[in-house]
Amino acid sequence: MKKQYSLFVGRWQPWHEGHQWLIDQRLNEGKNVCIAIRDVVPNEKQPWTPQEVLENLTELFKDNDRVKPIIIPDIESINYGRGVGYDIIEHIPPINVHEISATKIREEMRKDGKL
């Protein structure tokens, strides 16, 4: 049987505990995960190229064959029709995860000279 994946779309800049929590929701249910990296142009909010993010996630998940990071074209929306054959699932994080901010993480990285 061909593998099916739970798809997550984002910039992942940088990968943080909130992202990991989100991905773990599906992994803990025994699902495979596809992490789709939007092909965005680096700037203040997204300092890494999609290729750099892909390399980082590929290394991070190198020992987990249930996670597949890929680069996709940049998107302006996600659309679906009725009866498409898959679910749309929202994961509501606990408050400590909800409060994680990639913007604040990037600011700290800049302050510490890591970005």
Domain presence at residue 28: yes
Domain presence at residue 36: yes
Q: Model pTM greater than 0.75?
A: yes
Q: What is the CATH number of the domain that holds 52?
A: 3.40.50.620
Q: Number of structural domains, the chain? A: 1
* Residue-number span of the structural domain to which 73 is assigned: 5-78+90-111
Domain presence at residue 37: yes
Task: Give strand pairing partners of 35.
Answer: 8, 69
Each residue's pLDDT, cut to its tens digit, for the chain (115 residues) gives: 889 999 999 999 999 999 999 999 999 999 999 999 999 999 998 999 999 999 999 999 999 999 999 999 999 999 988 878 888 999 999 999 999 999 999 999 999 999 9
Per residue, what are the HEC states of 20-36? HHHHHHHHCCCCEEEEE
Query: What are the backbone dihedrals phi and psi of residue 24, each rounded to the nearest 5 degrees, phi first?
Result: -60, -25
CB within 8 A of 42, min separation 6: which ones?
Answer: 48, 49
Token representation of residue 56: 């980082």
Domain presence at residue 83: no
Domain presence at residue 84: no
